[in-house]
Amino acid sequence: MSGSKLVLIISPKVQIMLVWDSPVNCVFKLNVDDSRKGGTGCIGVGGIIRNSLGDWMGSFAVNLGNGQTLDAKLWGLFYGLKLAAAKGVAGLSIEMDSITDVQLIK
């Protein structure tokens, strides 16, 4: 599954190729994504851990109630790291869509 591709069709004329980049050998990758429903403020988060071959190792999805996007992102990282620890993962690459999270953790 390394380098697996997904085609997202936005309109009949535009296609975007999405590719999952595998980590180096013997390293696992945690992908985390969050969501927030603007009108209600409901937030949620999900994530997946895969090995360097792209094999599923574990995943999670959590309804976090009401909050801000940053709350969801940080909780997503927390749940992802908790899952990695429970699976005994030592080498972990983390992929998220927020530089703010990284800056807060540093």
Contact 56, 50 (CB under 8 A): yes
Please return the burial class of 29, using the count of CB atoms within 10 Å of its CB with bins 0-12, 13-18 and 19+.
buried
Ranges of each domain in the chain: 22-105
Contact 31, 14 (CB under 8 A): no
According to CATH, the topology of domain 22-105 is: Nucleotidyltransferase; domain 5 (3.30.420)
- pTM confidence score: 0.76
pLDDT tens-digit series, residues 65-77: 999 988 999 999 9
Please return the burial class of 58, using the count of CB atoms within 10 Å of its CB with bins 0-12, 13-18 and 19+.
middle
Whole-number Å distance between alpha carbons of 19 and 29 = 14
Whole-number Å distance between alpha carbons of 8 and 94 = 23
pLDDT tens-digit series, residues 15-45: 666 677 778 888 999 999 999 998 899 999 9
